[in-house]
């Protein structure tokens, strides 16, 4: 094999490697940008779902209060309304819980991609600035996740109590039987108020994160 052929093979073999290395930072930046947009969409969807949950929670508790003050002739109708609102609340809760989990996963992917982009920067000032910004956004995201997890731990016991009330009342649609559920109804209303207080803080945190997160 002559020298000319060797040089040609070396050049042709080296050029694809150069192209790959040159394209890598661009791909990393594009990936980070894409995941940033996805996190924004997921967070906005989660915020809407949490708002919807609060609205449905209000409807459910209003229906429960209506049952507790019903006259005998209205008990069946008001119980059916309460039962329907519980089913709706459960569906809204499932949507919110699912979107929260997807938001967490998207956040992890985004911060990982952002870290890869930072590792490929050569300018030390830009590298430090991006690292500091990433740390700030990660901390805010972690605080948001903690707030949502705290709410999540209360949702299942609260829903379980509502289902207990539903099961108890449906066995005997009489005023006397409903009166026996008075204490549990009051507890449910008190728990709902405390739950909404927690959710209000998460709603604020969600909107703050949306406003400051990279677009």
pLDDT of residue 1: 53
37-85 residue pLDDT tens: 899 899 999 999 999 999 999 999 999 989 888 777 788 899 999 999 9
* 100-128: pLDDT as tens digits: 999 999 999 999 999 999 999 999 999 99
Q: Is 143 a residue whose pLDDT tops 60?
A: yes
Q: What is the pLDDT of residue 172?
A: 87
SS (H, E, C) 150-197: HHHHHHHHHHHHHHHHHHHHHCCCCHHHHHHCHHHHHHHHHHHHHHHH
pLDDT in tens, 8-41: 343 444 444 443 334 455 565 677 788 888 998 9
Tokens describing residue 154: 């209360």
What integer pLDDT is reported at residue 3 of this predicted model?
45
Q: In whole angstroms, give the CA distance from residue 198 to residue 101.
A: 18
pTM: 0.80
pLDDT at 110: 93
């Amino acid at each position: 094999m002559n020298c000319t052929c060797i040089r040609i093979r070396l050049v042709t073999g080296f050029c694809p490697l150069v192209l790959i290395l040159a394209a890598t930072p661009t791909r990393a930046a594009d990936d980070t940008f894409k995941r940033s947009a996805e996190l924004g969409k997921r967070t906005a969807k989660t915020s809407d779902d949490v708002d919807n949950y609060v609205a449905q929670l209000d409807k459910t508790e209003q229906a429960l209060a209506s049952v507790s003050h019903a006259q005998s002739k209205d008990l069946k109708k008001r119980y059916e309304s309460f039962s329907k609102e519980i089913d709706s609340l459960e569906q809204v809760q499932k949507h919110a819980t699912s979107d929260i989990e997807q938001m967490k996963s998207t956040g992890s992917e985004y911060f990982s991609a952002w870290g890869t982009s930072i590792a490929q920067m050569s300018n030390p000032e830009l590298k430090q600035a991006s690292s500091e910004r990433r740390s700030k956004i990660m901390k805010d995201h972690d605080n948001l996740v903690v707030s949502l997890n705290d709410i999540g731990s209360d949702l299942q016991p609260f829903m379980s109590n509502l289902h207990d009330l539903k099961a108890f009342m449906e066995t005997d649609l009489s005023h006397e039987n409903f009166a026996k559920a008075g204490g549990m109804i009051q507890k449910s209303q008190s728990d709902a108020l405390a739950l909404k207080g927690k959710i209000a803080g998460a709603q604020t945190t969600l909107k703050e994160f949306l406003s400051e997160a990279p677009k």
